[in-house]
Structure 1
Amino acid sequence: MSSLPAPDYARNMRLIGHSDQGGRPDGLQVMVQRGFAYVAHPWSQGFSVIDVRDPRNPGATVFVPAPPNTWTIHLQTHEDLLLVVHARDLFADAAFAFDEKVYYTRSIGQTLGTTSGAGAARNWSAGMAIYDISKPAEPRQIGFFPVDGVGIHRIWYVGGRYAYVSALLDGYSDYIFLTVDLQDPTRPVEAGRWWIPGMHLAGGEMPDWPDGRRYALHHALVEGDTAYACWRDGGLTVLDVADRADPKLIAHRNWSPPYGGGTHSALPLPKRDLLIVADEAVLDHEEDGRKLTWIFDVRDPANPVSISTLPTPDEADYTAKGGHFGPHNLHENRPGSFVSDTLIFATYQNAGVRVFDISDPYRPKETGALVPPAPRRMVDKRPNRPRVIQSTDVFVDASGIVYSPDYNAGLAIMEYGG
Structure 2
Amino acid sequence: MFDLKDPANPVEVSVFANEIPFTWQEKVIVKTVNTPHFKGDLAVVSVQQTSRNNVNRPDSFGGVLLYDVSNPAEPKRLGFYQLDRRITGTHELYLTTQGNRAILLTSSPYADYYTSGVEKDFQIIDVTDPTNPEKLWQFDPRELDEVSANFNGYHWDSPDGKIRPVFNHSVITDNNGQYAYVSMWDLGTVILT
TM-score relative to the length of structure 2: 0.71
Equivalent residues of 1:175, 1:218 under 8 A apart: no
Label 1:60 to 1:70 Cα distance change in 2 as closer, same or farther (>3 A): closer
User: What is the RMSD computed on CA atoms of the aligned residues?
Assistant: 2.8
Distance 1:73 1:144 in 2: 16
Structure showing greater radius of gyration is: 1
Equivalent residues of 1:198, 1:207 under 8 A apart: no
Q: Which residue of 2 aligns with 1:50?
A: 2
Q: Which residue of 1 aligns with 2:167?
A: 216
Equivalent residues of 2:155, 2:166 under 8 A apart: no
Equivalent residues of 2:166, 2:184 under 8 A apart: yes
TM-aligned CA deviation for residue 86 of structure 1: 1.4
Any residues of structure 2 matched to 1:69-108 within 5 Å, and which?
Answer: 69-79=22-32, 80-89=41-50, 93=51
TM-aligned CA deviation for residue 217 of structure 1: 0.9
Q: Which residue of 1 aligns with 2:107?
A: 166
Distance 1:212 1:88 in 2: 28
The partner residue of 1:197 within 142, 148, 152 is 142
Equivalent residues of 2:79, 2:132 under 8 A apart: yes
1:70-102 CA deviation, whole Å, 9 max, x = no partner? 12111110121111111212xxx5xxxxxxxxx
Distance 1:193 1:73 in 2: 21
1:252-297 CA deviation, whole Å, 9 max, x = no partner? xxxxxxxxxxxxxxxxxxxxxxxxxxxxxxxxxxxxxxxxxxxxxx
Q: Which residue of 2 aligns with 1:141?
A: 77
Q: Which residue of 2 aligns with 1:340?
A: none
1:310-357 CA deviation, whole Å, 9 max, x = no partner? xxxxxxxxxxxxxxxxxxxxxxxxxxxxxxxxxxxxxxxxxxxxxxxx
Any residues of structure 2 matched to 1:219-230 within 5 Å, and which?
Answer: 219-223=170-174, 224=176, 225-230=178-183
TM-aligned CA deviation for residue 69 of structure 1: 1.2
Distance 1:152 1:206 in 2: 21
Q: Please, which runs of 5 or more residues in structure 1 have no aligned partner?
A: 1-48, 94-111, 115-119, 200-204, 241-418
Equivalent residues of 2:3, 2:12 under 8 A apart: yes
Q: Which residue of 1 aligns with 2:89?
A: 151
Equivalent residues of 2:105, 2:171 under 8 A apart: yes
Q: Which residue of 1 aligns with 2:190?
A: 237
Q: Which residue of 2 aligns with 1:206?
A: 153
The question of 1:182 aligning with 2:127 is answered yes
TM-aligned CA deviation for residue 180 of structure 1: 0.2
TM-aligned CA deviation for residue 175 of structure 1: 6.5
Equivalent residues of 1:75, 1:84 under 8 A apart: yes
Any residues of structure 2 matched to 1:286-305 within 5 Å, and which?
Answer: none
Equivalent residues of 1:227, 1:238 under 8 A apart: yes
Label 1:157 to 1:163 Cα distance change in 2 as closer, same or farther (>3 A): same
Distance 1:56 1:146 in 2: 37
Q: Please, which runs of 5 or more residues in structure 2 have no aligned partner?
A: 33-40, 145-151
Equivalent residues of 1:226, 1:238 under 8 A apart: yes
